[in-house]
C-alpha cells in the first residue's frame, strides 16, 4: 500500500513521534538484556535509592540495584507479555467474530451472549482471581490477559463483519457458491483489517495498564525479574525521598501507552476507514 504521493496515506508529525517511541521500546525489548550495564538482580551499590549519577543513569533501587538496567530488562516483560496477549486476544476474537457474523443463527446468539456476560466481569478483578488461584507465571499472565480482552475484540470484529456481510459483493460471492472460509478470508477480512489493527493498538494499551496493575499488587512478573509495574511497586517507598527509582519506570509506562494512543489516533484516514 503506497504512502507517497497521497496525503490520505501520510502520517502527521504526531503519529510519526508515536511510531518512533513505539519502535524504540520494541528495540529495547529485544536487545535490552545485552545492552544493560549490570545483571538484573545484581546489587551494585550500598547506597539504596541513590540519585542519578554518571555510574547509575537512573539511580538505584531499594536494594542498591541499577534502575537503568532493570528498566531495560523490564521492557522485555512489559512489551513482550502485552504483545503476546493482545495478538492472541485479537486473533481469536476476530476469527470468532467473523464466523459468527457469517454463520448467524443460534451459533451467533449463544456465542455473543456468553462473551457479553464474560465481558461484564471487571478486568482487574478477573485477573486478580485467576493469577492468585493459578499462579503468576508468564504463560498464565498471557492467557489471562488474552481472555480478558478477547470478548471486546470479538464484539468489535463481529460488528464490522455484520456490516460487510450485508454488502452486495459478499451476496454475489455467496450466490456463486463460495464457501464460508472463502467469504471470511477473501471478502470480509480485507475490509475490516484497518479498523481491527487500530483496535489492536488500543487493546495493547489496556493490557499494558492491567499488567502493570497486577504487578503493582505483586501478582505480575516475579522477582528477581520485574516488569515496569513491579519496579514501581518495589520502589514506592522512595517516592517520599525523591528517589528517581520510582519515577523512571512510571515514565516508561506512560511513554509507551501515550505513544500508542498518538499513533492510533493519527493513523492515515484510508487505513482506519479501509472498509469504506
Q: Distance (Å, rounded) from C-alpha 32 to C-alpha 25?
A: 9
- CB-CB contact of 201 with 260 (8 Å): yes
Q: Single out the residue of 256, 241, 255 nearest to residue 49, CA to CA.
A: 241
**Looking at residue 8, what is its pLDDT?**
47
Q: Distance (Å, rounded) from C-alpha 246 to C-alpha 265?
A: 29
Q: Distance (Å, rounded) from C-alpha 4 to C-alpha 26?
A: 25
Q: Give CATH for domain 21-48+60-266.
A: 1.10.3720.10
Residue segments in the chain with a per-residue pLDDT below the cut of 70:
1-11, 268-276
User: Domain locations in the chain?
Assistant: 21-48+60-266
Q: Distance (Å, rounded) from C-alpha 45 to C-alpha 73?
A: 19
- CB-CB contact of 124 with 214 (8 Å): yes
**Looking at residue 228, what is its pLDDT?**
93
pLDDT digits (tens, 9 = 90+) for 63-76: 889 999 999 999 99
**Looking at residue 11, what is its pLDDT?**
63
Q: Single out the residue of 210, 205, 208 nearest to residue 260, CA to CA.
A: 205
**Looking at residue 250, what is its pLDDT?**
92
**Looking at residue 225, what is its pLDDT?**
80
Cell of 193: 483489517
**Looking at residue 271, what is its pLDDT?**
44
Tell me the pTM: 0.85
Q: Where are the alpha helices (DSSP H) in the chain?
A: 13-35, 67-103, 105-119, 123-134, 138-165, 168-175, 180-182, 189-216, 228-234, 247-265, 269-272
**Looking at residue 10, what is its pLDDT?**
57
% pLDDT > 70, the chain = 93
- CB-CB contact of 67 with 60 (8 Å): yes
Amino acid at each position: 500500500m503506497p504512502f507517497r504521493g497521497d496525503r490520505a496515506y501520510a502520517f502527521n508529525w504526531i503519529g510519526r513521534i508515536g511510531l518512533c517511541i513505539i519502535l524504540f521500546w520494541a528495540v529495547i525489548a529485544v536487545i535490552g538484556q545485552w545492552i544493560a550495564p549490570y545483571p538484573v538482580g545484581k546489587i551494585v551499590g550500598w547506597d539504596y535509592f541513590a540519585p542519578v549519577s554518571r555510574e547509575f543513569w537512573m539511580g538505584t533501587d531499594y536494594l542498591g540495584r541499577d534502575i537503568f538496567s532493570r528498566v531495560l530488562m523490564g521492557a522485555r516483560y512489559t512489551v513482550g507479555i502485552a504483545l503476546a496477549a493482545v495478538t492472541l486476544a485479537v486473533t481469536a476474537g476476530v476469527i470468532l467474530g467473523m464466523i459468527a457474523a457469517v454463520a448467524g443463527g443460534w451459533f451467533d446468539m449463544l456465542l455473543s451472549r456468553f462473551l457479553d456476560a464474560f465481558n461484564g466481569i471487571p478486568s482487574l478483578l478477573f485477573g486478580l482471581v485467576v493469577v492468585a488461584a493459578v499462579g503468576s507465571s508468564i504463560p498464565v499472565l498471557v492467557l489471562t490477559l488474552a481472555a480478558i480482552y478477547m470478548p471486546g475484540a470479538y464484539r468489535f470484529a463481529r460488528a464490522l463483519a455484520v456490516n460487510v456481510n450485508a454488502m452486495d459483493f459478499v451476496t454475489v460471492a455467496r450466490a456463486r457458491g463460495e464457501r464460508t472460509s472463502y467469504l471470511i478470508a477473501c471478502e470480509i477480512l480485507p475490509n475490516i483489517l484497518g479498523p481491527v489493527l487500530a483496535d489492536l493498538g488500543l487493546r495493547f494499551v489496556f493490557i499494558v495498564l492491567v499488567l502493570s496493575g497486577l504487578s503493582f499488587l505483586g501478582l505480575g512478573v516475579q522477582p528477581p525479574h520485574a516488569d515496569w509495574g513491579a519496579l514501581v511497586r518495589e520502589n514506592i517507598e522512595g517516592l517520599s525521598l525523591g528517589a528517581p527509582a520510582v519515577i523512571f519506570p512510571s515514565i516508561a509506562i506512560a511513554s509507551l501507552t501515550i505513544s500508542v494512543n498518538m499513533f492510533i489516533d493519527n493513523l492515515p484516514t484510508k487505513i482506519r476507514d479501509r472498509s469504506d
